[in-house]
Amino acid sequence: MDLISVDTKMKKAIIFGGSGFVGSHVADALTNAGIEATIFDIAPSEFKNDKQAFIQGTILDQDLVNKAIEGKDYVYHLAGQADIGISFEAPKETLSLNIQGTINILDACRKYDIERFIFASTIYVYSDLGGFYRASKQACEIIIEEYQKNFGIDYTILRYGSLYGPRADEKNLIHRILKQAILEKTIQIGYGSEEKRDYIHVYDAARMSVDILSKKYKNAHVMLTGHQCISRGELFETINEMLGGDIKIEETVQPENDRLHGHYKFTPYVFKPQISKKLVSNEYLEFGQGILNCMEEIHEKYVTQKS
């Protein structure tokens, strides 16, 4: 993909949730683009480099959020509760953190007149699935739009596809099944083999999360998706073949009324008239290479270092 022209000279950005899987890669992409990056997170970042600053805290602390945003040009909001299962078990905590935390950040953006507010949403906003997680993201999108209308805070809302890549943890499907396959020679299918996902490598997603600073994506909703739409069954068979063909694949059938199954099968879309741009990079990491990249990380961490 031809890089989108973004004037990043002497610009400063803060990444709320910058210690996490996606946030840490976005921080790196900003640094690589010549933007001064500060990570804000409740936990220290093990991926922070010497060019990046770090602030430890919660987005529910308005005073600390204000201090963190002062002097920044771009504010990335990737913090909050993103686990659908946990959101079912703790709706009050999920809604409070995701919605009030977003309002705190927006209020600070208003106070310091930032150039762009970038919010990590989800494709579940097109769906009736996703439970309280989806509800919190839908509410935040509406609130962000109102802040723009009333206070002129320019934004870009990012709706990520299914992400995978280095630095993922047990909440990430591909990381979880690769670790299981490498260490236990088994892959367990939780919800059948037909569910399809549009996978995008986190390197590509992070790079495009900086590309959207172009004026073209001001006050826009942008879907960041990849080229690899495959079913779980195809994914598992691909991994099995790459690991020599001796991986046992076990399918565990979940009850139809399992309330924690807030995920979609083939598509998240339910017809609701919402406008969104779709950004797909012509230059991307091929899926097989991406999976090998993940395998190498898992083998190094769980096999090589422990032997």
Sequence-ordered list of residues with C-beta below 8 angstroms from that of 142, at least 6 positions apart, any chain = none
Question: What digits encode the pLDDT tens for the residues 144-160?
Answer: 999 999 999 999 999 88
* pLDDT reported for residue 197: 80
Place of tokens 């935040």: 140
| Region of residue 10 (phi > 0: left; psi between -120 and 50: alpha; otherwise: beta) | left
- Nearest Cα residue to 280 out of 215, 199, 219: 199
Question: Would the pLDDT of 226 be above 80?
Answer: no
* pLDDT reported for residue 260: 47
Any idea which of 25-29, 170-174, 280-284 has the lowest mean pLDDT? 280-284
DSSP type of residue 47:
S
How much is the average pLDDT of 89-106?
96
* pLDDT reported for residue 292: 85
199-222 as b/e: b if 16+ CB within 10 A? bbbbbbbbbbbbbbbeeebeebbb
- State the chain's mean pLDDT as an integer: 86
Question: Would the pLDDT of 257 be above 90?
Answer: no
Top pLDDT among 82 and 306 is at 82
Domains in the chain, start-ordered, CATH in brackets?
Answer: 12-165+199-227+271-284 (3.40.50.720)
CB 99 within 8 A of CB 119: no
* pLDDT reported for residue 131: 85
* pLDDT reported for residue 283: 64
How much is the average pLDDT of 98-115?
97
How much is the average pLDDT of 105-121?
97
Question: Would the pLDDT of 268 be above 90?
Answer: no
- Nearest Cα residue to 124 out of 96, 90, 87, 153: 87
